[in-house]
Amino acid sequence: MRAALLIAGKDLRQRLRDRSAVMVAFLVPLGLAFIFDLTLGGLPTGGTRLTFVVVDADGTEVSRIFVEEVLPQVEEGGAIELRTARSEEAARQLIQDAKADAAFVVPAGFGDAVQGTGGGEIRVIGDVDEPTAAQVAGSIARSFAADLDAVRLSVATVVGADPAAADPEEVAALSGRAAGVANPVAVVDAAATTKVLDITTYYAAGMAVFFLFFTVQFGVASLLEERKEGTLSRLLAAPIGRSSILGGKLLTSFVLGVLSMTTLIVATSLLLGARWGSPLGVGLLVVGGVFAAMGVMALVATLAKTAEQAGNWQAIIAVVLGMLGGVFFPISQVSGALSRLSLLTPQAWFMRGLSDLSGGGDWAVVLPAVLAMLTFGAVTGSVAMLRLERMTRL
Amino acid sequence: MSQPVLECRDLRKTFGDLVAVNGVGFTIAPGETYGLLGPNGAGKTTSISMIAGLLERDAGDVSVEGKPLTTTSVEAKSAIGYVPQDLAIYPDLSGRENLRFFARLYGMHGDDLTRRVDEVLEIVGLADRAGDLAKEYSGGMKRRLNIGIGLLHRPRLLILDEPTVGVDPQSRNSILESVDHLSAEGMAVLYTTHYMEEAERLCDRVGIIDLGELRAEGTRRELVGLVGQRDQVVLALAGNIEAAARACSGIPAVHDASPKEDHLELVVDEARKALPRILETVADAGASVRAVEVTEPNLEAVFLHLTGKALRD
């Protein structure tokens, strides 16, 4: 163990003197996170609340359900903020003044139309500069309309094909009961796994875990450098075990990885305002991420014959896994297949774990992600260890 | 004779179909410098890689101070100082940092470590540049640092694998003097080289290796004796050269005396011993000696005799 510590200490001293290692481990990821934050930090994200204005020109029981029950439930979910206006013109003015992102207008006669022959409509007014807000508003309105159709179908089933012939009081009672049974709009509290990081934290974490894979390669790949420089023969001639040489290299990777991640977490928190979440949870994610990165990069290094070749291959793997793992854009939100494919990368699990934490969960919510990353590390690392032993032979 | 520091026997190593070393074995006593002389590719480095415990051997035994040595032996390796042929130093560390790192690997610490590092820096002449990064050193300085690392833990056996390859004459001389000095202090030295002059100057005994086999070993004179060559003495003379030649022919050690226009050529057994009597005889014959040149048969000739090719072929 003493020899492994000596070798790790020597390697770390060399690496910290090597400006390229400092660049890769600390400066470049921090710089890129800063640039991404500057350029993309102003965009709305899942964490931004949309402001909707609602106009109830109908004033019936049906419009009241939409305005006083459905929309407030959505507001409670945290996604929107509601305001009211007395007229469509007033609503349009609020949007034009950028005081609201979209508006619902329930026109007069809407309730009668719904309970009568149909044809009632809720108008959604959007802002051309905020298409996402208009889409969200439209989605809420369509969901409510679909539920109303279900109620209408329930009533029609009971009173027959001609509602006009039915007793109005009976229809009203049935409608009320049906509306009470149906959940007009499903306002689901998003599961922790689908929470989205704010832009600053997202890119801080993305760049940190992306460059982690470059940082840890310095440890294992240095075994190839020792061979190239001739110092491996000197280490082998020393009265130490081969396991000490390997242990020293792995320890170097681990310390560099943890040091890099910790520095970036602290720096992005202080300089950019990134919100990483529970320190314990983040710590577990860092350890899992470093372990996975070490395993993957060690395996790649053992397949190479020279330090240069290892560096090239490791860079390719790090970039591909990083892209697929969603460190540059939230790939989990692109499509189902790609999202599932991304789970084959440690980076995706790291980002997923961090998203879980950002939802306000305690440290335990990261355990699945940590377990996944440890599994990555264990599988790739085991194969690498078998091959690494051969690398310490002349 | 004291117990050998190194004993190796029947070393064998193959790489695929290539037999790199076959049946090599020798011993080295304390204070003895043993030279392994052979051309590039003869099996020198493979042999000492097995002796230093770097390379698994296919067959044979190695022991250092009576302790068996394998690639995993910790105790036996502690007695060996190894200086590889290629530079094996960390360029991004200073000379002192390089030495301190390897000293710690060999279990040194505290004041002893600091003192020994300073001593080695003095020995290799790097004390005034100890704080500079090794990558800023000249080629000769790097070579000296490379050797210094092998001396740190006061090894009983120092293995030097062609330490003067690519070294300027001044540094080369410094290295050879250091080896002489270490040997005089009682350190056993295994020295591989393809420079005949180095083997002749440094080594008490020489093993001649070619195509992975030890073809002969012994002192320089023993090896020369295998060839049967004699020393040559050339005397630049004034006076009666013919008479001097006739007189010298009567000396038992002189096998041939050939008078030339202004000098006399003699073929002699052990010229250095016979020279005083030769000079006396020449003077008695009425000639005066203006210059003397003695040429002894060298290991190059021995190598040619044993392998049928020149050492640097």
Picking from A196, A68, A205, the residue whose alpha carbon sits closest to that of residue A132 is A196
DSSP string, B187-219: -EEEEEES-HHHHHHH-SEEEEEETTEEEEEE-
Specify the pLDDT at position B156.
93
Task: Kindly identify which residue of chain B lies nearest to residue A232, measuring between CA atoms.
Answer: B88
Task: State whether residue B61 is helix, strand or coil.
Answer: strand
Identify how many contiguous H helices and E strands chain A contains and give both numbers: 18, 4
A226 and A232 Cβ atoms separated by less than 8 Å: yes
**pLDDT grade for A347, boundaries at 50, 70 and 90:** very high
pLDDT of A183: 42
| Alpha carbons A215 and A200: distance in angstroms, whole number | 22
Query: Considering only A62-71, A74-83, A306-315, which range has the smallest mean pLDDT?
Result: A74-83
| CA-based max dimension of chain B | 73
Cβ of residue A354 closer than 8 Å to a chain B Cβ: no
User: What angle is formed at CA A303 by the lines to CA A301 and CA A304, rounded to 5 degrees?
Assistant: 70
Q: Are strands B188-193 and B33-37 parallel, antiparallel or unpaired?
A: parallel
Task: List, for chain B, all residue ranges whose pLDDT scores fall below the cut of 50.
Answer: none
Tens of pLDDT along B160-211? Answer: 998 888 778 887 888 888 888 888 888 999 999 888 888 888 899 999 999 9
Q: Is residue A319 over pLDDT 70? A: yes
Average pLDDT over residues A93-117: 83
Residues A9-14 have a mean pLDDT of 90
pLDDT at A374: 95
d(CA A375, CA A369): 10
Query: Which residue ranges form the domains of chain B, and what is each CATH number?
Result: 6-225 (3.40.50.300), 230-296 (3.30.70.100)
pLDDT of residue A189: 38
- pLDDT class of A188 with cuts at 50, 70, 90: very low
Name the minimum distance, in Å, from the CA of B87 to any CA of chain A.
Answer: 6
d(CA B52, CA B70): 8
Q: Find which of B104, B133, B159 to mutate to test the A interface (most A CBs within 10 Å of its CB).
A: B104
Main-chain phi, psi angles of B204, to 5 degrees? -75, -40
Q: How is residue B240 annotated by DSSP?
A: -
Reading the block at residue B45, the tokens are 């480095």
Question: What is the tens place of the pLDDT at every residue in A242-277?
Answer: 889 989 999 999 999 999 999 999 988 888 888 888
Which tokens go with A227?
A: 């061979």
CB contact under 8 A, B74 and A239: yes
DSSP secondary structure string for all residues of A13-60: HHHHHSHHHHIIIIIHHHHHHHHHHHHHTTS--TTSPEEEEEEESS-S
Q: Any idea what DSSP says for residue B70?
A: -
Identify the pLDDT of residue B22. 94
- Regarding predicted confidence, which is higher, B271 or A42? B271
Contact yes or no for A203/A211 (Cβ under 8 A): no
pLDDT at A178 over 70: no
Backbone phi, then psi, for B265, in 5-degree steps? -105, 130
State the pLDDT at residue A181.
44
3-state secondary structure of B42: coil
pLDDT higher than threshold 90 for residue A162: no
Q: Do B54 and A237 touch (CB under 8 A)?
A: yes
- Angstrom CA distances, B3 to A78, B30, B73, B204, B205, stand at 87, 8, 20, 17, 17
**Stated length of chain A:** 394
With the CA atoms of A60, A66, A72 and A73 taken in that order, what torsion angle do they form, in degrees rounded to the nearest 10?
140
Determine which helix (DSSP H) or strand (DSSP E) holds A229, and give its type and residue range. helix A217-229
B84 and A238 in contact by Cβ < 8 A? no
Please, are residues A15 and A252 in contact by the beta-carbon 8 Å criterion? yes
Q: What is the mean pLDDT of residues A316-338?
A: 79
Q: How far, in Å, CA of A142 to CA of B46, rounded?
A: 81
- Out of A9-18, A95-104, A120-129, A338-347, which region has the weakest mean confidence (pLDDT)? A120-129
- In angstroms, how far is CA A354 from the centroid of its own chain? 7
% of chain A at pLDDT higher than 90: 19
Pairwise pLDDT comparison (B100 vs A78), residue with the higher score: B100
Confidence of residue A386 (pLDDT cuts 50, 70, 90): confident
Please give, rounded to a whole number of angstroms, the shortest distance from the CA of B54 to a CA of chain A: 6
Q: What is the mean pLDDT of the segment spanning A45-53?
A: 69
- Name the residue among A18, A234, A240 with its Cβ closest to that of B92: A18
| ipTM score | 0.80
Residue scoring higher pLDDT (A363 or B82): B82
Report pLDDT for A289. 94
Residue given tokens 């042999």 in the structure block: B47
pLDDT digits (tens, 9 = 90+) for A128-160: 666 677 778 888 888 888 777 777 666 666 665
**Which pLDDT does position A48 carry in this prediction?**
59
pLDDT score for B112: 93
CA proximity to B183, closest of B158, B164, B216:
B158
Cβ within 8 Å, pair B105-A235: yes
Closest CA to A91 of A132, A64, A54: A54
**Which of A233, A239, A393 minimises the CB distance to B77?**
A239
